[in-house]
Structure 1
Amino acid sequence: MTDWIGETFCSTVGWDHLETLADIDHRMAGSEGERLGAEATRDVLADVGARDARLETFDLQGWTRGDSGVHHPESGASYDSIALPRSPGGTVEAEFVDLGYGLPEDFDAADVEGKLVMVASNVPSYHDRLIHRREKYYYAVEAGAAGFVFRNHVEGQLPPTGSVGRPDHPIGEIPTVGVSKEVGAALGRRFDGEPLRVRVDADVHDATSQNVHAELGPETDERVLVSAHLDGHDIGEGAMDDGAGTATMVEIARALATREGELDTRVEFVGFGSEEVGLCGSQYHAEVCDPSSVKAIVNLDGVVRGRTLQFFTHTFDELEAAASRMANRYDHPVRIIPREGFRGDQWPLVREGVPGYFVSGVRDSEGRGYGHTSADTLDKLDVRNLREQSILLTDLVVDLADAETVIPHRDRADVAASFEAEGRSEGMKIVGEWPYA
């Protein structure tokens, strides 16, 4: 009964696949590299015993990075930057304003119309919630800013990436670049209130992405989804975000193939494409599947980078109980966060009332750490974490697939009311992701 645990702890399947993904030049949404990663994931899922491993393609708003720059016209000083995905191309020369953290109240207190605005990638410790990059970007857009500079809070000369755009307008409204903490500090110190020039070159084009599907267990109408996203950014390996999630999904599939007789419910593995530019793959999947057929979704995004797993349960008591049971069985610490969340590929289903986890690793660093930078590389990860977490998550999926585990869906009005009660609706509305009347 426990042989699968030892086999998982000795397995190299997941880690080998992680190396395969990291060694692809890049897996940017809609790129050839993303497709190579999807094909490799499909093939390894079939190799470990999952059935009907396949790709499902969908159309995508493509975006390819060109050059970018930040320049002070008077002194001639130039600074390194990278364009944020789905930034429009163009050049902006305007008065530069350093808005610090870029909290809503910072925008309320400043006149940024026609100006070039810089904000940090983090929030102060006293603030009650994370304010996402896209939320800050659209505060700037709505306030009439001419351009946007996103400053990393992590040391190491690491300009951050991360997309802008809204679901109904996938290319952003104003040019935007990311700069390192060190460059941002220099810009704020030297040029606040002076003219700066930001230039973005980018190619906007039609593209195609794909989701990977495979299955184990009985062919029931109801299914438990185990998911991760296949794409990464074009500036690095994307090992943590989310190569590790995809590798863990593969390792869970390998382990479950040896326990398939214990499954009462079909388990479907889904590698989503193009998460980094707006949850495109999971949004497409939610449109073509029947949400009522999904018993639960376990979305892996940012696992392995910390030894302890954390679970956003989206206020589903039954999901909290299942994670607690798993932790108690193995006497292993986990962090359970019984709150809502609209980041991650579980969101397009959770917003329809489907029970869902967002699973990541607890880490000491604030915010993304090395995520969304060129430092998101394989050497930051530990194979022990991948193996241990695959054991824990495999057992969790078996529990969720058990016929005696009942997890009622919620209705849309209840989900909306919960987000409103937590004060999370404002951020969703400004980025165009509030799906409720």
Structure 2
Amino acid sequence: MKTKTNFLRQGRIRYMASLFVTAALFTGSITMAQRPGGGAPPSIKDATVDAIVKEGTENSQLEKLAHELMDGIGPRLVGSPKMKQANDWAVAKYTGWGITARNEKWGEWRGWDRGITHIDMVAPWTKSLEGTQLAWSPSTGGKTVTGETVIIPDLADSIAFQQWLPSVKGKFVLVSMAQPTGRPDYNWDEFGTKESIEKMKKQRTEQTQAWARRISKTGYNARTLAAALENAGALGVVQCNWSNGFGVNKIFSANTKKTPTVDLALEDYGLLYRLTESGSKPQISVRADSKETGVQPTFNTIAEIKGSEKPDEYVILSAHFDSWDGGTGATDNGTGTLTMMEAMRILKKILPNPKRTILVGHWGSEEQGLNGSRAFVEDHPEIVNNLQALFNQDNGTGRVSNISGQGFLHSYEYINRWLSRVPGDIRQHITTSFPGSPGGGGSDFASFLAAGAPAFSLSSLGWSYGNYTWHTNRDTYDKIVFDDVRNNAILTAILAYMASEDSAKSSREKSVLPINPRTGKPGEWPSPTKATRKGGLN
């Protein structure tokens, strides 16, 4: 029989524990797993988990898949022949593994096929320039066009700019600021003196502000300025969208419809800018052989391992398949794609008859606004309403380091239960936060989250993703860290296994979101956004 003292002591312990959980839930941040070196508790032994780890470690197909996708097919711009080739390749791979797969049409997009781009400086001396045309840029009509370069001038106002505008006819117009340094800040911080670092940053800030004022005084923004130059007869628009790293530029889409838009590497652009500014009248020649291919159907690639006991309940593995095409889309989102394909391959071999249906979605047109996944959510309410969990990966090649509860009040209970089977050498890298806040966008899990479904992002370590590979000309095979991707494929397979076999249905109860300081009211759950079903045609 318990004494009164012991009873009161245990009551106080329960009371303090409940205070901790309540306070942590109120602030939206319970950290449940430890960071590296924190001594994560030992995993629960599980023969299926052991088999998953063994298959993913000893028989990994990741390098082969990466070579076929990134090297063999290349970038996967929505509406391009490469995107459709990738869709068909994925269906063939899944079929070869004995997994049912299909391409599911969700919309249409402007078709465009990137051809070869040649950009050369031909005066005052000869140099081949590093650059490429932007996505959906017009071609040069099967010929090489040559012209002088000019810089957007610093004029008094939009009236003065309109008076200058006819002078661009027959010329290439430089529309970006010339960067004062091509060295990233970390390089300056490592080697520069305090005085030189401060001087460089001050110069860059002043130059950036001055350039913004210069563009503003034209009366246009970046999008409308390109169209105005084109309509005035410019041969082309030349930019440099530097990404703050050695030799790396962001490559997005063109804002012209008749003349090409090209992006040049920082120093090649700087060379042209300096020569133009000094009155040397440099000339460049451009040949861009892209092709318009008309309106093209767009697809999501869907594959599934049918559930044996609860086939109408679902676990979804999620990654967008499309990419920008400055590089080969290796880390955005080739590595997420490989993670999910390899996890499905492993699961088919180790868990051929899961309790729930395990489905993988390789989404199209994520880069233009989550369109493929939003369309799937609209088209398949029967799946979304019966979703046990979705796991999405989309931020580079690094090993998974964070999982948030995305605002679901009881997510800590089932996520941590599933993570308990993950081997310690994988789990030790992961920090979890519960209940967290729902992601409003950024990747495809948000499409499902907005519909109230338990969808989670497997967020990865950076590996300089933001500067060096996200939407850049350097997002290529060589940036893949295969040990980290192997880690992620094994983790994903284990999480899918645990979610599939769980006897309980995952709770969808939402937490009360923190107060929005702008409104003074609790935050609101994201609402569904309609997919753009016909894009790129305006």
Q: Do these two structures clear the TM 0.5 threshold for a shared fold by scoring above it? A: yes
Question: Among 136, 152, 159, which residue is 1:94 paired with?
Answer: 152
Is this contact kept in 2: 1:92–1:175, CA < 8 A? no
Deviations 1:308-343 (A, max 9, x none): 444455333545655555555422212447452411
Deviation at 1:21, TM superposition (A): 0.6
Is this contact kept in 2: 1:60–1:209, CA < 8 A? yes
1:296 and 2:389 correspond: yes
Deviations 1:70-109 (A, max 9, x none): 99x999999654343346789997335649999xx96998
> What amino acid is aligned across from residue 378 of structure 1 in structure 2?
Y
Alignment partner, residue 160 of structure 1: 250
Larger deviation, residues 5-14 vs 272-281: 272-281
- Aligned counterparts of 1:342 and 1:258: Cα–Cα separation in 2: 34
Distance 1:143 1:21, change over 3 A: closer
Alignment partner, residue 30 of structure 1: 79
Alignment partner, residue 222 of structure 1: 313
Alignment partner, residue 273 of structure 1: 364
SS at match of 1:56: strand
1:369 and 2:460 correspond: no
Is this contact kept in 2: 1:116–1:145, CA < 8 A? no
> What amino acid is aligned across from residue 152 of structure 2 in structure 1?
A
Is this contact kept in 2: 1:13–1:250, CA < 8 A? no
SS at match of 2:89: helix
Deviation at 1:191, TM superposition (A): 7.5
Distance 1:77 1:3, change over 3 A: closer
TM-score for both structures, normalised by structure 2: 0.58
Question: Among 239, 247, 251, which residue is 2:338 paired with?
Answer: 247
Question: Among 41, 47, 54, which residue is 1:6 paired with?
Answer: 54
Deviation at 1:251, TM superposition (A): 1.4
Is this contact kept in 2: 1:28–1:234, CA < 8 A? yes
> What amino acid is aligned across from residue 227 of structure 1 in structure 2?
S
Alignment partner, residue 168 of structure 2: none
Alignment partner, residue 499 of structure 2: 400
Deviation at 1:156, TM superposition (A): 3.5
Question: Among 439, 443, 450, which residue is 1:351 paired with?
Answer: 450
1:232 and 2:282 correspond: no
- Aligned counterparts of 1:319 and 1:69: Cα–Cα separation in 2: 53
- Aligned counterparts of 1:359 and 1:148: Cα–Cα separation in 2: 38
Is this contact kept in 2: 1:15–1:247, CA < 8 A? no
Is this contact kept in 2: 1:228–1:299, CA < 8 A? yes
Structure 2 spans left out of the alignment, 5+ residues = 1-46, 141-148, 154-174, 180-203, 229-236, 533-538
Distance 1:172 1:145, change over 3 A: closer
Alignment partner, residue 298 of structure 2: 209
Percent pairwise identity: 23
> What amino acid is aligned across from residue 472 of structure 2 in structure 1?
T
Deviations 1:337-376 (A, max 9, x none): 7452411222332233333223342024261523433432
Is this contact kept in 1: 2:243–2:249, CA < 8 A? no
- Aligned counterparts of 2:515 and 2:111: Cα–Cα separation in 1: 31
Alignment partner, residue 180 of structure 1: 265
Question: Among 426, 429, 442, which residue is 1:333 paired with?
Answer: 429
> What amino acid is aligned across from residue 478 of structure 2 in structure 1?
D
- Aligned counterparts of 1:145 and 1:336: Cα–Cα separation in 2: 47
Distance 1:143 1:82, change over 3 A: closer
- Aligned counterparts of 2:254 and 2:509: Cα–Cα separation in 1: 31
> What amino acid is aligned across from residue 361 of structure 1 in structure 2?
S
Larger deviation, residues 77-86 vs 23-32: 77-86
- Aligned counterparts of 2:89 and 2:337: Cα–Cα separation in 1: 11
RMSD of Structure 2 on Structure 1 (CA): 5.0
1:382 and 2:473 correspond: no
Question: Among 4, 18, 27, which residue is 2:66 paired with?
Answer: 18
Deviation at 1:15, TM superposition (A): 3.2
Deviations 1:32-54 (A, max 9, x none): 3222222221122233343x311
User: Which structure has the higher relative contact order (CA within 8 Å, separation 6+)?
Assistant: 2
Distance 1:77 1:375, change over 3 A: closer
Deviations 1:105-144 (A, max 9, x none): 9699836346499xxxxxxxxxxxxxxxxxxxxx745899
Deviation at 1:184, TM superposition (A): 6.1
Distance 1:414 1:398, change over 3 A: same
- Aligned counterparts of 1:115 and 1:383: Cα–Cα separation in 2: 48
Question: Among 324, 339, 347, which residue is 1:256 paired with?
Answer: 347
Distance 1:382 1:93, change over 3 A: closer
Structure 1 spans left out of the alignment, 5+ residues = 118-138, 166-170, 433-437
Alignment partner, residue 60 of structure 1: 109
SS at match of 1:407: coil
**Quick check: which has more Rg, 1 or 2?**
2
- Aligned counterparts of 1:252 and 1:383: Cα–Cα separation in 2: 14
Is this contact kept in 2: 1:215–1:267, CA < 8 A? yes
SS at match of 1:354: coil
